[in-house]
Structure 1
Amino acid sequence: MTLRITSANNPRFKRVRSLGGTRKPHREEHVFLLESPRAIAALEHDRNGFGRVRELWFEEGRGLEDRWSGSFEQASRFSLPAPLFSRLTSVKNSQGILAVVEYMPPELRIHDRQGRYVVLDGLGDPGNMGTLIRTAVAAGVDAILLHGPCADPFNPKCVRASMGMLPLIGLHRASEECWMELERGGYDIVGLAAGEGENLFETAFPPCSVVVLGHEAHGLSSEARRRCSRMVHIPMRPACESLNAAVAGALAMYATRRV
């Protein structure tokens, strides 16, 4: 059954609209909006995903309720007139559907013998965070570990930049226990830093590897450096001081596939 909402004062409408805001205190923890039909459909078909669709919101007059009638049977459904729906979406040419998704990652388990992880150490920009999440899914990274004060991965800008990939990878805090487990497991913990250590493209990575990426402006924190077993750098022409954090992270993630 689809409930029709016609007022912007409706409490349900206000709650969902708050999920699209960038102020974290106004958003429910680990809950976010997905606006891509392809990303929403992926949650139904990918059994390894960590997202549960709690609600589906439709723009009236586009025939979408019938098209999605057999999907996410446990989700609550709502329809809105076009002017109201446009106040929920951040997409200029919306496709008329929104999903309210709850992120439910499993407990972190560090793999034995073989595993690839990425640590984001104080990464501050939600756009970079989302792009790195998308790249990590594409590159087959096992999980992303957040160290220090990072951007909120559930920030709408991050969710958009991830292209809906957020529910397809585990996000965890890099706790002291987590670092110790990586060290006990013999993981090669490699920090990416400008001009330091080996050339990224000339170094070998073992089957158990961790790439640590730092803050966009300040680089790796002293704590993260202490955890690293070695450093690598991306070679660049002298005129170029650095690369965008998401670009550098993408190069590093794919470099670890060369085992």
Structure 2
Amino acid sequence: MRFEQITSVKNNRVKDWAALKQKKYRTQTGLYIAEGVRLVEDALASGAPIEAILVSGDLQSGRYDKIVNGVASQNIQVYEVTEQVMEHVSDTKTPQGVIAVLRQTIGDPHDFLENKTDPLYLVLDGIQDPGNLGTMIRTADAVGATGVFLGKTCVDLYNPKVVRSTMGSMYHLPLFEVDLELFLPAMKRQGVRVVGTTTDADKTVFQHDFTIGTALVIGSEAHGLSAGIADLVDHSIALPMPGQAESLNAAIASSVMLYEALRQRTK
């Protein structure tokens, strides 16, 4: 198999790919980058819409076998690039030697809500830390959540740090970016209970019934739920903390709650 070679950082394609590290260019083009062997393998295996794959290093080493086989079956363009080009496009200090350029997937969230039986949705309001967002998506994937909905004040789903921190889970479950103040009422019309997390709720996560259709809403790391979203919550729950810690970060809190939901649904 023969691949096209690119050796200069001044190449127009390279300039376009490098620009995808900035949100404005991701928005303009509808493209984003995913870095790392495992992440690109997961994207290929899931049938994600890959535009191109960049590889630096020895393609015959065996390290890229799954990627080479995957692109051959899906007719995806591969570019052999120099380490300098890879470093220019990469968002990391030590690139892993493979980057995929993908199209952002935009589904209709309203169609997605139809005909779901007792769904478990993770809804995120104002999550700003890329690592937290990626971890929350991974946990939702791990517990078999029905889908994840990001409010417009969350960090960009296609931020390279978010993409990496999902460790491939973003290719395993439906993800939507929505206006929560308009969309949560649509969930309610489908019989879904909107459950918010606050530190002063009367009921704990362990006392709440997660076995029916639930949208678990997690607020920002610094401020919790925004006022408009808090007004739409049907039930408020809290994590009991008998120790001396003031709080848990959003990713840990959501993980505990999602696993409690899983426990109730599988017992």
What TM-score results when the alignment is normalised by the length of structure 2?
0.85
Q: Is the 8 A contact 2:197 2:236 kept in 1?
A: yes
2:218 paired residue number? 213
Percent identical residues: 27
**1:116 and 2:120 are equivalent in the alignment:** yes
Partner of 2:46: 46
Aligned twin of 1:180: 185
Separation in structure 2 between the aligned mates of residue 84 and residue 100 of structure 1, nearest angstrom: 14
Match of 1:63 in 2: 60
Tell me, yes or no, if structure 1 residue 256 matches structure 2 residue 261.
yes
**Alignment partners' CA distance in 1, 2:188 and 2:228:** 15
Structure 2 Cα separation of the partners of residues 183 and 166 of structure 1:
25
- Residue in structure 1 matching 2:131, options 113, 127, 130: 127
Contact 2:46/2:171 (<8 A) preserved: no
> Does 2:238 align with 1:239?
no
Q: Give the deviation of 1:214 after TM superposition.
A: 0.4
Counterpart CA distance in 2 for 1:243 and 1:105 is: 32
Residue 226 of structure 2 aligns with an amino acid whose one-letter code is S
Q: Report the 3-state secondary structure (helix = DSSP H, G, I; strand = E; otherwise coil) of the residue aligned with 2:242.
A: coil
Cα shift at 1:238: 5.0
Verify the 8 A CA contact 2:184 2:194 in the aligned structure 1: no
**Displacement after TM superposition at 1:38 (Å):** 2.2
Number of equivalenced pairs: 254
Answer whether contact 1:59 1:85 (CA < 8 A) is retained: yes
1:131 aligned partner, one-letter code? T
Give secondary structure in 2 for the equivalent of 1:87: helix
Question: How far 1:195 sits from its partner (Å)?
Answer: 2.6
After alignment, is 62-71 or 169-178 more displaced?
62-71
The answer as to 2:152 corresponding to 1:153 is no
| Residues 79-108 of structure 1: per-residue CA shift (max 9 Å, x gap) | 112233233334455442211122324322
Q: Is the 8 A contact 1:123 1:215 kept in 2?
A: yes
SS in 1 for 2:70: coil
Aligned mates of 1:97, 1:44 — CA distance in 2: 13
TM-score by length of 1: 0.88
Distance 1:134 1:156, change over 3 A: same
Is the CA contact 1:36–1:164 (under 8 Å) kept in the aligned structure 2? no
Aligned-pair CA distance for 1:219 = 0.6
User: 26-35 vs 181-190, which deviates more?
Assistant: 26-35
Where does structure 2 lack aligned partners over 5 or more consecutive residues? none
Distance 2:197 2:123 in 1: 11
CA contact (8 A) 1:195 1:234 kept: no
**Which SS does the other structure have where 1:104 is aligned?**
coil
Aligned residue identity for 1:125: D
- The residue number in structure 1 matching 2:101 is 100
Quick one: structure 1 residues 92 and 147, their matched pair in 2 at CA, closer, same or farther if it must change by over 3 Å? closer
Q: How many angstroms does 1:146 deviate by?
A: 1.9
> Could you say which residue in structure 2 is the equivalent of 1:144?
148
Deviation digits for residues 118-169 of structure 1 (CA, Å, limit 9, x no counterpart): 1111112222111111111112111111224111111111112111322322
What is the Cα deviation at residue 215 of structure 1? Answer: 1.1
How far 1:246 moved relative to its partner? 0.6
Q: Which amino acid aligns with 1:46?
A: S
**SS of the counterpart of 2:164?**
helix
**What's the Cα RMSD here?**
2.3
Greater helix share, structure number: 2
Mark the CA change 1:69 to 1:206 in structure 2 (over 3 Å): closer, same or farther.
Answer: closer
Cα gap change, 1:194/1:46 in structure 2, threshold over 3 Å: closer, same or farther?
A: same
Label 1:181 to 1:189 Cα distance change in 2 as closer, same or farther (>3 A).
same
Aligned to 2:34: 34
Query: Any runs of at least 4 consecutive aligned residues in structure 1 with deviations exceeding 6 A, and if so which?
Result: none
Partner of 2:7 in structure 1?
6
Q: What is the CA–CA distance in structure 1 between the aligned matches of 2:199 and 2:123, rounded to whole Å?
A: 17
**Which moved further from structure 2: 184-193 or 24-33?**
24-33
